[in-house]
Amino acid sequence: MCGIVGYIGHREAYPIIMKGLQRLEYRGYDSAGIALYDGNQINLAKTKGKVIDLKSKSENSISLEGTLGIGHTRWATHGIPNDTNSHPHYSNSGDLVIIHNGIIENYETIKKELSKRGYVFSSDTDTEVLVNLIEEVKKKENVLLGKAVQIALNQVVGAYAIAVFDRNKPDEIVVAKLGSPLAIGIGQQEFFIASDASPFIEFTNNAVYLQDQEMAIIRLGKEIKLRKIQDDAIAYPLVQELQMNLEEIEKGMYDHFMLKEIYEQPSAIKDTYRGRLRVEQGIIKMAGIDQNIERFLNAQRIIIVACGTSWHAGLVAEYIFEDLARIPVEVEYASEFRYRNPVITDKDVVIAISQSGETADTLAAIKLAKERGAYVFGVCNVVGSSIARETHAGAYTHAGPEIGVASTKAFTTQITILSLIALKLAKEKGAFSDSKYHEILSELENIPSKVEVALESNSLVEIISEEYKDSDNCLYLGRGYNFPVALEGALKLKEISYIHAEGYPAAEMKHGPIALIDEQMPVIVIATNNGHYEKVVSNIQEIKSRKGKIIAIVTEGDEQVRELADHVIEVPETLECLTPLLTTIPLQLLSYHIAVMRGCNVDQPRNLAKSVTVE
């Protein structure tokens, strides 16, 4: 849940690391630090706050020279965010310096042992314990840094991606990974280290993604050597050619990544179905499904595991799979699933959904499902991510990098891919008529242009946002396919604007939440014309008679709801099963504008991080 960056080569390391940290700030942004080796000594600066605070601190306090360095942006786990707990951390001798993403679970025990041997600790972090353990091993066993790292890591329990170097051997950086991501960019006589490829994409397209339990000694002028941490076996680096480009990870003309990503949805959805959805031929091509179609067709049920927004996409999928393919579906919070004793058999198919592909709870749920014999299919956005690797097969969403902490295009592209899967299985099972199948196929192809139309509501949504930006609470209601959209709308609002919001199935309102409604309460109701429309209209009437303020998301041309609601936002007409792809758009825009008007940091909301690699 932190971002790490490192560089060793012939360029000045400082600007590369700083820029890299800025790109990785989505992973954590409560403190940051950098350590540079200038040819004589290590110069280190760290601070509570964002990378921009680190920039001014380091430019005012240390020499920025050096062609070797490491940097870190933190999301606190052990120890509050302050200067001392920020990374990098020195070992007691000052020889070693480390950055770490992850958690060392047995650090208290190791700390006690090291304290007995005279080690002192200035921070509350598990990371400072780890670097001192490496130092102790190095001295005691009289081994080189790489070996010391390996021995030390065999004594720790937990998760890590680390980069460490020794000021007495400033031609190498040692890195290791278990549970947290780590990529090595390979340039000409230079190497980059990062939590993902975004910090080095403008320098090289060649990268090695370390696998769990692997470590590498990155030495200038030498090939990378990979080893298994457990048993010292040699591992062979698989150099991948990256498809990502720099433009994709810059904000461009937008004020925030979130807004950019909201506007990218038409192309992201298109990229997701490109090559898969072949309307003219009437087929859906998905290698991950085609190769294992029997597993899906014979599945007793599908269990979906995910967290946050991905869980909401899973809920939409539940409606689609049951409605179209007639396969029973259960949707589980990965964090609950992994700690229950769930009944899973080899007749179950588990679909794990995750934008980042690194969410710790989802990963653990996958491992549990595999242990119990289920077939596990991943729906991820980040190529080569841990979940993509851990699953038996899968499909990427191809949404492009999502940097804003609030998921937007990840949600709609996940729904797109899950709809493709459901349609494909429905067709194979003969669950519905050819004409219905073709109708949905061609409507799915129209969705990107309809999303573009839905985005035209932006100015209206901005005006509505002005009226409700000071609300303390907000209720979101939807039925059927749009119930998960209500949940997602509420999550978007609370996570970036800090307004308390609840999503509910519209009909549940009368079982409790209706007591909250008064003239102060904005109620956002999704009332498209084809999903239990009349019932939702009745719910709107119930809100109106209690003087609630109604913001309704309706189908173009709607008149009935317009009569009742305080505001209506139109989206184009589509098939009921595809409405979430459109109704979610104004809700994303609403939370975005309200958050901006309240002065909130939209891309980096407080206490959050983009990928949650801790449980």
CA atoms within 13 A on the CB side of 60: 8
Cβ-proximal residue to ligand M6R, closest one: 308
Number of Cα atoms under 13 Å in the Cβ half of residue 518: 6
Between 237 and 314, whose beta carbon lies closer to ligand M6R? 314
CA distances from 321 to 76, 317, 331 (A): 39, 6, 11
User: 55 vs 25, 81, 488, CA distance in Å?
Assistant: 13, 17, 36
- Which secondary-structure segment (H or E) carries 393? strand 393-396
Quick check: is 610 catalytic? yes
* Comparison of 127 and 309: residue with beta carbon closer to ligand M6R: 309
| Residue 280 burial by Cβ neighbours in a 10 Å radius (0-12, 13-18, 19+) | exposed
Instruction: Name residues whose C-beta falls within 8 Å of residue 188's C-beta, 6 or more positions apart in sequence.
Output: none
E strand residue ranges, 134-289: 158-166, 172-178, 183-186, 191-194, 206-209, 214-219, 225-228, 234-235, 239-241, 277-278, 283-284
CB of 413 to ligand M6R, least distance (A): 11
Structure token pair of residue 379: 């729906």
Nearer to ligand M6R, 43 or 101 (CB): 101
Q: Please identify, using beta-carbon distances, which residue of 454 and 612 lies nearer to ligand M6R.
A: 612
Residues 548 and 557: their CA atoms lie apart, in Å, by 23
Smallest gap from residue 405 Cβ to ligand M6R (A)? 5
| Contacts to ligand M6R by CB under 6 A | 307-310, 354-356, 359, 362, 405-407, 491, 495, 608, 611-612
Give the amino acid at 540.
Answer: I
Whether 424 is catalytic:
no
Minimal distance, residue 339 CB to ligand M6R, in Å: 17
Q: How far is the CB of 397 from ligand M6R (least distance, A)?
A: 10
Q: Which of 260, 270, 427, 610 is catalytic?
A: 610
Residue that is written with structure tokens 């007749």 in the block: 347
Q: CB of residue 98 vs ligand M6R: minimum separation in angstroms?
A: 26
Per the CB < 8 A criterion, the answer to whether 480 and 506 are in contact is no
CA distance 319 to 419: 10
Cβ of residue 594: shortest distance to ligand M6R, in angstroms? 15
Comparison of 496 and 550: residue with beta carbon closer to ligand M6R: 496
Q: How far apart are CA 216 and CA 227, in angstroms?
A: 6
Active-site residue set: 2, 610
